Structure 1
Amino acid sequence: MENTPLTPSSSAPTPTATPPGTASNTGSEAENQSKLRTLLGILRRFVGVADIASVRFSLPSQLLEPVPNLEYWNYLDRPETFASIGESDDELERFLGVLRFWFTKDLKFVKGKPCKPYNSTLGEFFRALHLGCPGDTTTGPVRVSFLTEQTSHHPPVSAFYIDCPEKGVSANGYDQISAKFTGTSIRVTPGVHNLGIFINLHKRGDESYRLTHPAVNLGGFLRGTLNLYVEDICYVTCPKTQLKAILQYLGDSWIGKAKYKVEGVVYQYTHEDDGIQKIKDVPSKLVRAKIEGSWMSQLYYTVPGSSEKHLLIDLDPLFPEPKTCPPPNAMLPNESRKMWEGVTEAIHARDYSRATQLKSEIEERQREKAAARAAEGVEWKPRFFEAPALAAGRPRLSVDGEKALKGLHTDDYKLEPAAVTGA
Structure 2
Amino acid sequence: MVFQTLRYLWSPTFSAAEPNNGENPMVSNKSMLKDFLASIATMTGDLSNITAPPFVLDPKSVVEIPAFWAENPALFVSPALSEEPAERALAILRSFLAGIKSQCYMGHSEEEGVKKPLNAFLGELFLAQWEDKKLGNTYLVSEQVSHHPPITACRVWNPKHGVIAEGYNRQKITFSMGSVRIGSTGFALKSLEKYDEHYLLPLPDFKVKGVLSGAPYPEIGGDWYIPSTNGYMSKITFTGGKGLLGGGKKHEFSASLYKENEGESQPLYTIKGCWNTEFVIRDERKGKDVEVFSVVEQLKHLPELKLPPIEEMDPWESRRAWADTMAAIKRNDFRGTSQAKGFLEQGQRDMRKEEQKNGTKWQPVFFKNSNSHEIAQKLMAKLPGADFESTRNATNGVWLFDPEAYDKAQKPFHPDVEPDNVKAGGERRYSQVRESSRGSISSQSRTSRDFGRENINGTTASRTSIDSRQFHDSDVEENVGAKDHGRAGEIDAVEKDVGQQAKKDHNNVPGGRPEPATHQLQRKEEQVESGVEDLSLREKVAVEDMLRDKYASSS
TM-score bracket relative to the smaller structure: 0.7 to 0.9
Residue 130 in 1 paired to residue 130 in 2? yes
Give 1:365's aligned residue.
347
| 2:136–2:159 CA contact under 8 A, matched in 1 | no
Tell me the distance in 1 between the aligned counterparts of 2:100 and 2:31: 26
Tell me the distance in 1 between the aligned counterparts of 2:82 and 2:204: 27
Among 454, 471, 478, the alignment partner of 1:406 is 454
SS in 2 for 1:309: strand
- Residues 315 and 28 of structure 1, relative CA distance in 2, 3 Å threshold: closer
- Residues 77 and 106 of structure 1, relative CA distance in 2, 3 Å threshold: farther
Among 69, 74, 85, the alignment partner of 2:79 is 85
Among 246, 250, 267, the alignment partner of 2:235 is 246
Tell me the distance in 2 between the aligned counterparts of 1:349 and 1:182: 30
Among 353, 356, 375, the alignment partner of 1:374 is 356
User: Which one is further off, 350-359 or 164-173?
Assistant: 350-359
Greater helix share, 1 or 2? 2
Give 1:117's aligned residue.
117
| 1:210–1:236 CA contact under 8 A, matched in 2 | yes
Shift of 1:131: 3.5
User: Which one is further off, 30-39 or 304-313?
Assistant: 30-39
The Cα RMSD (Å) is: 2.9
Tell me the distance in 1 between the aligned counterparts of 2:179 and 2:42: 13
Among 303, 319, 342, the alignment partner of 1:337 is 319
| 2:54–2:332 CA contact under 8 A, matched in 1 | no
SS in 2 for 1:209: strand
Tell me the distance in 2 between the aligned counterparts of 1:39 and 1:402: 46
Tell me the distance in 2 between the aligned counterparts of 1:250 and 1:257: 8
Give 1:260's aligned residue.
251
| 1:77–1:107 CA contact under 8 A, matched in 2 | no
Among 299, 308, 324, the alignment partner of 2:288 is 308
Shift of 1:106: 3.4
Residue 58 in 1 paired to residue 51 in 2? yes
- Residues 357 and 166 of structure 1, relative CA distance in 2, 3 Å threshold: same
Shift of 1:312: 5.6
SS in 2 for 1:177: strand
Give 2:167's aligned residue.
173
- Residues 208 and 415 of structure 1, relative CA distance in 2, 3 Å threshold: farther
Runs of 4+ off more than 6 Å = none
Tell me the distance in 1 between the aligned counterparts of 2:39 and 2:334: 23
Greater RCO, CA 8 A, separation 6+: 1
Give 2:476's aligned residue.
none
- Residues 393 and 40 of structure 1, relative CA distance in 2, 3 Å threshold: farther
Percentage identity across paired residues of the two chains: 23
Tell me the distance in 2 between the aligned counterparts of 1:30 and 1:93: 41
Shift of 1:375: 2.3
Within 5 Å, which residues of 2 pair with 1:292-331?
Answer: 292-311=272-291, 313-319=293-299, 320-331=302-313
TM-score by length of 2: 0.61
Shift of 1:416: 5.5
User: What are the Cα deviations for residues 192-220 of structure 1, in whole angstroms up to 9, with x where unaligned?
Assistant: xx12x20111111x211101122211011
The answer for unaligned runs of 5 or more in structure 2 is 1-18, 372-390, 410-452, 468-555
Give 1:69's aligned residue.
62
Give 2:265's aligned residue.
284
Shift of 1:91: 0.4
Within 5 Å, which residues of 2 pair with 1:222-237?
Answer: 222-237=212-227
Aligned residues: 370
Question: Aligned partner of 1:284: which letter?
Answer: S
SS in 2 for 1:387: strand
User: What are the Cα deviations for residues 159-181 of structure 1, in whole angstroms up to 9, with x where unaligned?
Assistant: 00001000110110002222221
- Residues 27 and 65 of structure 1, relative CA distance in 2, 3 Å threshold: farther
Tell me the distance in 2 between the aligned counterparts of 1:174 and 1:188: 15
| 1:78–1:104 CA contact under 8 A, matched in 2 | no
- Residues 26 and 130 of structure 1, relative CA distance in 2, 3 Å threshold: farther
Shift of 1:370: 1.0
| 1:168–1:203 CA contact under 8 A, matched in 2 | yes
Give 2:498's aligned residue.
none
SS in 2 for 1:378: coil
SS in 1 for 2:157: strand
Tell me the distance in 2 between the aligned counterparts of 1:114 and 1:415: 38
Residue 106 in 1 paired to residue 96 in 2? no
